[in-house]
Amino acid sequence: MESGLRFHADVLTDKAGSLGDTTHYAIALRAGVRESTISRLLGGRTVPSLATLVALADAYNCALDDLVLGRAEPARASSPGPAPAQAREAVSI
């Protein structure tokens, strides 16, 4: 039986984009995870650990449900977590 649980990269990229995080590096910096992890997640090459999901949910002020069930509320105006100190050239989302 299919549980319907899967990582919804589109929710993450929407949340990230609404805060100006348009690169893997910017998402990784805000969430405190490795850039390679974000690259693999958004490329569909890995399944996120619970710790990574929690870090992403905290960084983008969303519920875990948003990331695994695809439900997302409109992005809030506040900017949770540290803003990237300096953007570097990276692959855009």
pLDDT at 89: 42
* Spatial distance between the Cα atoms of 32 and 25, rounded to a whole number of angstroms: 10
Residue type, 36: S
pLDDT at 85: 47
pLDDT at 71: 74
Average pLDDT for runs of 10 along the chain of length 93:
78 96 97 97 94 97 91 53 46 46
- Whether the model clears a pTM of 0.85, i.e. scores above it, the answer is no
Question: What does residue 56 show for φ and ψ, rounded to 5 degrees?
Answer: -65, -45
